[in-house]
Each structure stands twice: as C-alpha cells, then as structure tokens.
Structure 1
C-alpha cells in the first residue's frame, strides 16, 4: 500500500470548511488528469476537485454530506506507471477549484467562510431572581454591563430563561448565542423583532409547483436582508451624457477586432478615478462603527447574472490598469462566473461594486450596498434624448446612474459631488488623462 497516493482537499480560497455535495468516483475506477473526482460547496461557491494525474481509485474517504477542510483526504489511488506522482494536489493549481459563487448578492458577503454552528439556546429553567418586576415576573439575573450590551442589540433579557454564569447569571456569551440561534431559526421572510409573513396554502387557489432556491440565492437573500436592516441607505440618481464616449468606443472597436471594449469598462475606469478624488467612497466602517478604514488599493466588483444567481467577481487594481487590460480580465471573469468556475478569492476584496442593467433595460433602480463597502453604482440603459444646447435641441445619448450609499459614512452633499464628477468624466473622455 506504500505506492498509494493521497488526494487531499487543496486551498479553499478563504473558506474554512466545505460540504461534499457529490462524489463522482468509486473504488476500482480509472481516472484521467483533470477529471473531476468530487464536488464541494461552501457558503459562496461550488468547487470541483480534479485529479492531477492518471491512476486507479483504491479507496474513497468521503461521502455526500461530509464537512471537510483543507488537507482532508478525499481518496487513495494508485498512479499510472508512465506518469510522475505527487503526494498532494497542489494548493494553488489554477484548476484546483471551480467554484460557482453566491452573492450576494446583493451582492454577496466578502469572505466565503462557513458560518459557525450556533450554540444551543440555554435550557428553559426557573431563574434565581434577584428581584421581581411590577408584573410579578422574575427579573433577569445580569450585570449592568450585560444589560447595556443587550439593549444595544435590542435583545429582551426575559427571553433568555437562564444564563450559563454562576447561579444562572446571564453573560454576554449567552446573549450572542441567543442572537445566533434566533437568526438561524427565524422563519423564512421574518427577522428578529419583525413578524414573519404568514404562510399561505396556495393550493386552495390552483395548481402549484415548489422548487427549492439555490444555495447561492438563499445566502444572497440573507446577506441582503442583513445589509438592509443594518445600513441607513440613500440612493442618489443622476445622468451622464456619453455621446462622445460611445463614438470613441465604436471607433476603437473598429480598429481593434479582437478585444472589443464595452461601455462598462469605461465606467469602471472612470469610477476608479473618481474614488481617488473622494476617498471616503473607498473605505469601510470598522466592526464597532467607531472608525473609518481607508483603502490604498482600488478593486471594483462587477455584478454578473448567472443561471445560479447573482455573483460579484472583482477587478483588481483598476486604477493601475489600461482599458484593454480591464476588458480582457472582465471578459475572463464573466465567462468563469457563467460557467460556475469562479474561486472564492475572485469575489473578495472589492472596494465598490457596479450593478449594470444596461443590457436588459429600465430607467432607474435602487441597488443595495454590498457591505462592508459603503457605496454601489447602478447603471440602466442609455437612450437618445433631446438636449437643449442653448440654441436648439440636439440628440444626445444619456446614461442613467444610481448611487446607493451608507449614510453613516457619506452624506448627501458628498454623494451629489461624487456623481457630478463622475458624470463630467464620462461626458468628456479627455478628462481621463487629467
């Protein structure tokens, strides 16, 4: 058995644990290089595990439903004689993973980390009360600091029957466990403190069909709900005259047949330029919301519609790359997204997100901020409109723009100035050189 090779889980790109959703091999199977052996799923991605060489499967170490992490043994196999052997699948091999992302949604949350299992709620038991309230009910046994912590989270201590501290004292850990359990057990559509939408038996009205949501859409919905409830969001609407930009784009494409430029690439480049002038848009609030973290890099996420849901691959160092470099990278990321081959790292590190509906239609919408980012730019379809030039109406191509932002970080005046600057940049491409 000393000649057997272990097939192990490679680097998971930020995820600490994934679930085995499909096993495609069994003992005795012959495998070829790059053949998919198993499929794993994390919060934000589905990953294929390929073989690096040919051989014969001797033993399979996992089954569907197993929770595994980096380094876990998937199978043992005997390699082919003519091929060189390796003891572990390389962690950073470009084809070692092929995740299909979620997102957020909303865009989706930054890290693809499997949520921790919540601790079970403290058992219902009688308190050892320190006092009785006016209704005759025992007051929760907790220190003033813990009571303050509960008030900040909006938690009713009466709902925590007994703490894990001495003599049933409620601790901060008990409150955190209660919050985690409540979030994980809240009815679909309901949230903490908000009544859930009542269930309806639709069969009484006619024939129905029930299909489960994909994991990506479920997680995206959870993330969007969390953002909507935590961020005071405002949306600013504006327009940009992109007539000259579109003429320039068409002329470049007529000269360059291989790498066609889209209007989205110019908008992405312009956005990076404006973010340098308004650094508060390239920032995030700290976890305690007490300070602002300014980023010295400029990575922009692009929301991509896929059969499995909305995902947000990230273009890195947009401010340092040419239009043609960005166009090639976006085309590659979009193709990987639609084919379900994005890695979790492809969707992390964004500073701001663009959500474009230009290829579909619409005149305006309110995109939800992809927290912990503080702003998101929405784009709808450009159309020709008559614009008064001082003497007459002339046809101009007008692009609607929608900026949603976290009002804790950005105020209305800053948002307006940001959009005016962006509109000017898109209206006159010569400003790109300034």
Structure 2
C-alpha cells in the first residue's frame, strides 16, 4: 500500500523567497535529503532537501514563484507498510508457539537546533559527530565561529544521530536545525506468539542521484551562482570570480555582490578627490630572496578584527588624552582585601582592573555623552542608560572583548568573580556573540605586560576606550618633599565627532580622581 504526502517548505530564515529552479520532475523517484528546489531570498540562496523519499506525483510551485514557510512544494507517493496478504516465502514455513523476542524500546525522532548564541549568524567550522553515532547529553556536536569568538554547541539530550542537517562552512543562527536524533523511550511488554519464517528482505533501492542544477553552472573554474545573481553581476559589469562567496556550498549570493560593489565604491570614493586617502597599494615583494621565510596564516579572529580595526582607525577622528593616576592607597587596600578573601577562602583575587572598571563606570554615569554611539547616518547620538564595560582579553587566537554587564551596580567581589569567569571563557574560546555585545565603553589593560603608554583604537560603535599601562613607583612632590608613589599611566582615546577635547580632559581627570581616592567611588 502507499499514501500521498505533502512536502511543505521548511523554515527558510526569511519571510519569502523566489524559486530559482525546480530540480525534480513528476515521476522521479527521490530519496530523503535529495535537493528538490532552489530558492533565493534577499540575502541568501539555498537548496531545499526533501524531508522523505518517494515518487513525485505533483509539483506545486514553478520557477519565479514567491514562496514562504509552510507552502506545499511537492506531493509525494510514499510506500506504506506490507499488508497481511503479502506473499509468503517459497520455502516451507512452520509455525510454532514460541516466545516473541523482546521488542526494542520504543523511540522517537527529535530535532536538535542551534541554541541562543547571541542573535548573530555564525559559521559552522566543524561537525563533531557522524550519522550512527550514539551521543550523550551535553556532548559537543558542533563547532561554530562568529565575528569575534568560537564555541562548541552541546547536545541537549542523548540519542543516536540519524541525520545531520548542516555542514562545515554553513551559516547558522538561533533555531537552525543541526541534527535529527533517535531518542529511546520505554520498551513494550514482550508476548508469546506463533512465529513464521520471515521472507527474504527486499534489497533497498539505490539512492537516485540528484539532477544537475542549472542554477549552479560553474564558470571560471568554480563559481556557483543563481541566474538572478548573475544578472545583477552583468548589470554592474562585474566579474563574479572577484567576489568572495559566502553562500551555502560556496555559492555567490546577491548579498555578496552588493557588499563587493559597496566596498569598491567606498574605495573609489576614499581614493579620489581632495581629502581622499589616495594611498598606494603595497608592493608585491618576494621576501624569500632575502633569506629563509615562513608563511603563517592569520587566525580567523585576526582576519575579522583586522579590517574592523582598520575601519575604526581610518573613519574615526581619534584624539588621545594622557594622564597618570596615583594608585598607592588603592594598591594597599586591594592587597588587604585579597588577604581577607584568602583567609575566608572566597576563591577570588581582586585585580587592579576591577577598580578601573568601577572608575570608568562612575565616570560614564557622570558624563553620559561618553556612554553613547553615533547613529549610522551621523545625524544623532544614541545615549545609553545602561553601563556595561568591555574588557580586552589576550587569547591564543587573538584579542577579544567580552562585556561585563551593569558594572555601576556591582561590588568589587562580584566584578572580580565575573571578570575571572569571562576571561577564562575567552581564553578557552567559549565566548558567544552575546558575551561581547552591549558595551558602553572598553578598557584595554597592558599593565601585566609592560610599556609606559599606548594609543588604543576606539572599539566602534562605542565612542571611547581607556588604555592602561604598567604602573611604577615614581617620586611625586607632595608640597614639602618628593615621596615615592605608585603611578599608573592612562590613555583615553575618543571619537572627536561626539566628544570634544574639554570633555575628554574632564573624563580622564574624573577617572584619575576616583582611582587616587577610593572614597569618591562610593559618593
């Protein structure tokens, strides 16, 4: 027996998309996960796989149709269970009252989706399981990387991997389907029954190969793009071979073309006319002719953060204000508190950075124009009512900036614990995009490494950043004599479009006063 089943368009991550190609025909025998249509939305193109196998009886959409989640794609004839009248085997069968083997525990198929990862789209770097694997709850099944961090995604429950719905290089976000797991339930009670010899099993038909996709015509060796993307490229007289592809299976999407064109226009604008950058390209030098060399690829974080830093440095008019704060009394108090924490076995250590965070939070509260972001059109300033401090953390893979939330309302012990936890998470590569969002202002501290001063780059869309260098004992005139004092160099960089020089001086002076006299932090 057989039945007709509707295959509906699954969640495509957008309100609507256009059908660019139908990849099957009526009468085709298809298998589960075989691509059946190609679609394209505003930002991406993708192939839609069948959720089950069978024979295509009807096709409910055509090239050019606008479709959305839940629409019928195909009607598929699916084979049903064998009936009681099924032919018996040719060999003689002997029925006997025997105990039926205990049936396997009942099971169900459950989907595993990407959990909350901070709201951003991330790239799959590695799938850590295979079809048929038996996995346990909290076992890592997937590695992903976002703009500034990488993380492993754990399984929310145990089971056997039946299907893997993503691959390395795919872009995913919260709710994207990762796996289908077979989860065991309770076993039914075994019964005794007469058993007949089973007929020989029927060989499973080999999967039908997916038909060739016209929308993935390869040109220049390896370019994959839909007809609409190629049409846009022709309109701009653009060679697709020059456009970095970010789509599924290496496809060039409409978004890729738009981003490339915008970048080229921006480059042309910055390089021409009065006031343009007008920089010459680097010379292509063969360094090996001067001696032995080694080529080391940049880490993913470096590849992503490098262009961001370059953009921030070039587009933000930086001003850097320098000062030194007397932290002699602060250091005495800090060491006393660490001794108390050790005696009480609190499991924490208070660092000077914690006091820097409290001082910056206090200054942001006093000068709210620093707790702001410039609107994208440059016409207004967005003032933030929350105070969250980003902390630059040096990791084996590069610099990341996790954010400690609500610093203004937290005590020294609470901040110390949270700072320790988030720093450990950063160095282990476990930060999520959510951990690095929502900053009011950042602090970059090199005090544990060395140096006397540096000019930190503003971490846009924030408008200011505080650089902290290594403290040192210096002679300071107290009105009667030079006395040894512990001084820490500070460097405040800010966006001059939002902050003027006078406010910059007031802000760093406020931080200096808070650090020099801890009593002012509680006023």
Give the drift of 1:82: 7.0
- Equivalent in the alignment of 1:141: none
The answer to whether the 8 A contact 2:149-2:400 is kept is no
What is the TM-score when the length of structure 2 is the normalising length? 0.63
What pairs with 1:144-155 in structure 2 (closer than 5 Å)? none
Work out which of the residue numbers 279, 303, 309 in structure 2 matches 1:194.
279
Distance 1:234 1:254 in 2: 40
Is structure 2 residue 118 aligned with structure 1 residue 35?
Answer: no
1:310 is aligned to: 399
Task: Give 1:337-356 correspondences, 5 Å limit.
Answer: 337-356=426-445
- Distance in 2 (CA, whole Å) between partners of 1:333 and 1:11 is 17
What is the match of residue 4 of structure 1? 109
Tell which structure's C-alpha radius of gyration is larger.
Answer: 2
Moved more, 392-401 or 74-83: 74-83
Give the match for residue 333 of structure 2: 248
SS in 2 for 1:63: coil
2 CA distance for matches of 1:72 and 1:429? 49
Residue from 158, 162, 172 that aligns with 1:54: 158
Structure in which a larger fraction of residues adopt strand = 2
Are the equivalent residues in 2 in contact too, given 1:298–1:319 (CA < 8 A)? Answer: yes
Number of the residue aligned with 1:179: 262
Distance between the aligned counterparts of 2:186 and 2:146, measured in 1? Answer: 35
Pick closer, same or farther for the CA change 1:82–1:330 going to 2, 3 Å: farther
In structure 2, distance between residues paired with 1:56 and 1:183: 50
Give the Å deviation of 1:361: 0.3
The 3 A distance-change label for structure 1 pair 41 and 200 is: same
Structure 1 unaligned blocks of 5 or more = 84-116, 126-173, 186-190
1:378 is paired with a residue of what secondary structure?
strand
Question: What displacement does 1:184 show?
Answer: 10
Change (3 A) 1:193 1:327: same
Q: 1:278 is matched with which residue: 344, 354, 367?
A: 367
Paired with 1:324 and 1:175, the residues of 2 have a C-alpha distance of 49
Which residue does 2:179 correspond to in 1?
Answer: 75
User: Is 1:18 the counterpart of 2:103 in the alignment?
Assistant: no
Structure 2 residue 317 is matched with structure 1 residue 213 = no
Distance 2:377 2:164 in 1: 46
- 254-263 or 403-412, which moves further after superposition? 254-263
Shift of 1:26: 1.4
* In 1: Cα distance, 2:178 partner to 2:510 partner: 53
Q: CA deviation at 1:11?
A: 2.7
For the 8 Å contact 1:384–1:396, the answer to whether it is kept is: yes
Relative to structure 2, which stretch is displaced further, 47-56 or 379-388?
47-56
C-alpha RMSD over aligned residues: 2.6
Structure 1 residue 63: deviation in Å? 2.2
Distance 1:121 1:183 in 2: 20
**Distance in 2 between the 1:301 and 1:392 partners?**
39
- Bigger drift between 236-245 and 291-300 goes to 291-300
- TM-score using structure 1 length: 0.75
